[in-house]
Chains A and B, each alone.
Chain A
């Protein structure tokens, strides 16, 4: 195959270059889609949850910093969503039921944040809350009324929301766990309920020292 040393050298170099390209392009063969790359990057950066103002299904208005001292299990949704969000919320309900009662409300809160504040007003959120039988206290449904705050949060947490032109949105979904100080601790696959519940329980166990 080698007609001269230059050609042989070039073969080695190009193979090496190719491998470097793939290594760099996939975060060391870990992330082949932008979504997995996003999760990988989020877990490396561990961004702080911006101090946004929430308005929940009970009409209460408060800032996110009020949750300081508790873990927050988060999802991003919009209520008129017909495919992913109901699944996401149903799975979140299952995770909720798998976390020991003693911790709920004390050490951890569940929160579903709507990124469609125009349609998801207090009444709509309340209906949605009832549909998933959340208590509105330890599992809250809330919107962020201020569009600038919302956009900043979505950007920080890498949530990409694209209007689909028919009143809906296409968006990536995951469970997010924010720690007691407000920093992102985990991003979990929302389709793997047991795995997510395990992660949450283990994190709390380590943290509370039980």
Chain B
């Protein structure tokens, strides 16, 4: 319950108009702060919802795969340069953002623990390559991809993605080279 409250507060802060307007005025904050925080809010809120609707999740999301498919599709959609652009200029896309991303957090929470190591590794590597691609796209693009954001902001975002990619690689390396035998038992 504590987590759910936290999630609702976080979501509440994110929808306050001045906060929303400020975050969305900077491309980096929009994509790498607002979107992940909305997912996090959903993750927290999921604490109660998953417990409450436990039979539903067990029946329809038994192995975590359906939930994860939704997570992948929705997050991939939000990585389209167009989606970010339209969220700023079209109200129903903005609305869709504030609804779909908390669901990502909710499904991620329910699915991740159910998935097997192979599935998890696949998802992790999938995102690693996707973030690397986004970094390359935004840093290297000679043209302005988004109509609502300047080219310099685009580059900053690209570097942001690169930092995330590097973190993920470092995480991967330490996971490969450290001993997990204790945990497995």
Q: Chain A: residues with CB nearer than 8 A to chain B?
A: 1, 3-4, 6-7, 9-11, 13-15, 17-18, 21-22, 25-26, 31-38, 160, 162, 164, 170, 172
CA distance A172 to B86 in the complex (A): 15
- Interface of B (DSSP majority class): helix
CB distance from A110 to the nearest CB of B (A): 24
CB distance from A98 to the nearest CB of B (A): 24
- Whether A34 lies near B81 (C-beta < 8 A) is yes
Supply 13 A–B pairs (Cβ within 8 Å), ascending by A.
A3-B62, A7-B59, A7-B60, A13-B66, A14-B67, A22-B76, A25-B80, A25-B82, A26-B82, A33-B85, A37-B82, A38-B147, A172-B147
CA distance A97 to B139 in the complex (A): 36
CB nearest neighbor in A for B89: A34
Does B130 make an interface contact (CB < 8 A)?
A: no
Q: What are the interface flags for B132-167 relative to A under an 8 Å C-beta threshold, 1 for contact and 0 otherwise? A: 000000000000111110110000000000000000
**A13 cross-chain contacts in B, Cβ below 8 A:** 66
- Whether A34 lies near B82 (C-beta < 8 A) is yes
**A6 cross-chain contacts in B, Cβ below 8 A:** 59-60, 62
- Whether B65 lies near A1 (C-beta < 8 A) is yes
> By the criterion of a CB under 8 Å from any partner CB, how many residues of chain B are at the interface?
29
Q: Which of B55-94 contact A (CB under 8 A)?
A: 59-63, 65-67, 69-70, 72-74, 76-77, 80-83, 85-86, 89
CB nearest neighbor in A for B86: A34
CA distance A32 to B59 in the complex (A): 36
- Whether A33 lies near B69 (C-beta < 8 A) is no
Which of B65, B77, B146, B148 meets A21, CB within 8 Å? B77
- Whether A4 lies near B148 (C-beta < 8 A) is no
CA distance A6 to B62 in the complex (A): 8
Q: Which residue among B83, B89, B144, B150 has the maximum number of chain A CB atoms within 10 Å of its CB?
A: B144
**B59 cross-chain contacts in A, Cβ below 8 A:** 4, 6-7
CB distance from B78 to the nearest CB of A (A): 10
CA distance A170 to B82 in the complex (A): 17
- Whether A14 lies near B66 (C-beta < 8 A) is yes
Known: A14-B70, A15-B69, A17-B73. A7 touches B83 (CB 8 A): no
- List of 9 A-B pairs having minimum Cβ-Cβ separation, nearest first: A18-B73, A10-B66, A34-B85, A7-B62, A14-B69, A3-B62, A160-B147, A10-B60, A6-B59
- Whether A33 lies near B145 (C-beta < 8 A) is yes
- Whether B80 lies near A35 (C-beta < 8 A) is no
**A37 cross-chain contacts in B, Cβ below 8 A:** 82, 86
Q: Which residue among A14, A31, A35 has the maximum number of chain B CB atoms within 10 Å of its CB?
A: A14
CB distance from A42 to the nearest CB of B (A): 13
CB nearest neighbor in B for A35: B147
Known: A10-B60, A21-B73. A32 touches B148 (CB 8 A): no
Known: A7-B60, A33-B85. A172 touches B144 (CB 8 A): yes
- Whether A7 lies near B65 (C-beta < 8 A) is yes
